[in-house]
A and B are shown apart, each in its own frame.
Chain A
Amino acid sequence: MPTLEQYVILSIILLLIGLFGFISRRNLIVILISIEIMLNGLIILFAALSHFTKDISGYIIVFFIIAMAAAEAAIGLSLVVLIYKRLKTVYSDEITNFKG
């Protein structure tokens, strides 16, 4: 049986991968997908804590995280489509409307 430490280390690795993608990619859709990867790391963390402490609350939090991820994806993707309709680009370094 894997221990709690192994699950926590896996969740740290997924959080770091998602963080790197979030701050370094140009494509807005890939940035949103990086947020999904970070949320998956959190899901592993809460589920492992809930399993190893015999507390059901972590599973409930995972349930809420999945619902929040659905809402966040809907809003974020509609904003990406809106940006594409207005500015004809989805690359974050080409959106320079506010540059002085």
Chain B
Amino acid sequence: MNWDLVIFYYLAIAMIFSSVFAIFSRHPVYTVLLVLVMIVHQAFLLLTLGAEFLTAVQIIVYAGAILVLFLFVVYLINLRKETKKNIFIRKVSLITIVFLLFGALLVKNLLILISLKPSFKAYLPFNVEEKSNVWWIANYLFKNYLLQFEIIGVILLVAILGAVFLIRKVKTAE
């Protein structure tokens, strides 16, 4: 019994089904909760890839911050169950054309990626010298990618300021 493959297939099937049910769900709260299930499964999938730090970040940031933000907004604007017959927009031919076009582009490019069999060697192999994954990520993040790290901090600050600026109460001049 190959337990790695069993765990991988369980996580993959759970992620695919929860995201499909999230897209086809009629109630927005069910959508958010099913995506939460998908994200927790994905965190364990990252654990099978040997990325412990990213597992923690995924659970803390995605499940703890982003989806709770979505849930707050769903409650804030008091969405009811969709009462209309269809939850999709009605232009079926347009949806089909756009989906086939972009889907064919995505599948083609990623299949090219598989066929290339990426085997280029890295700067340094990691997890080989008794150093943990967190050590390598910290080393690269604060040496090679320091500028990008600062830029992402500025982007988060701008996002916070933009959200506050957009939602502020506008005083109408009377």
Contact = CB atoms under 8 A, between A and B. Distances in A.
B173 interface: no
Given A15-B106, A54-B122, A75-B159, A67 B19 contact: no
A16 B103 CA distance: 6
Indicate the size class of the contact surface on chain A. 35 or more
Categorize the interface residue count of chain B: 35 or more
28 contacts: A8-B113, A10-B12, A17-B23, A21-B23, A27-B79, A29-B28, A29-B73, A32-B70, A33-B70, A40-B38, A40-B39, A47-B49, A53-B120, A54-B126, A56-B126, A57-B140, A59-B53, A60-B137, A62-B46, A62-B54, A63-B54, A64-B152, A66-B62, A69-B62, A70-B156, A73-B69, A77-B73, A81-B77
B90 to A, nearest CB: 7
Interface of B: 4-5, 8, 12, 15-16, 19-20, 22-23, 28, 31-32, 35, 38-39, 42, 45-46, 48-51, 53-54, 57-58, 61-62, 65-66, 69-70, 73-74, 76-77, 79, 82, 87-90, 95, 98-99, 102-103, 106-107, 110, 113-114, 118-126, 133, 136-137, 140-141, 145, 148, 152, 155-156, 158-160, 162-163, 166-167
Contacts of A72: 159
B23 A30 contact: yes
Residue with the greatest number of chain B CB neighbours at <10 A, chosen from A1, A45, A74: A74
A25 B20 CA distance: 13
Contact of A40 (B42, B48, B122, B167): B42
A68 B48 CA distance: 24
A37 B19 contact: yes
A97 interface: no
B38 A37 contact: yes
A49 B120 CA distance: 11
Contacts of A66: 54, 57-58, 61-62
A32 to B, nearest CB: 7
A92 B42 CA distance: 29
Contacts of A7: 49
Interface string A14-27: 11111111011111
B110 A11 contact: yes
A56 B99 contact: no
Interface in A63-100: 63-64, 66-75, 77-82, 84, 90, 92-93
Which of A59, A71, A84 has the most chain B CB atoms closer than 10 A to its own CB? A59
Contacts of B136: 56, 59
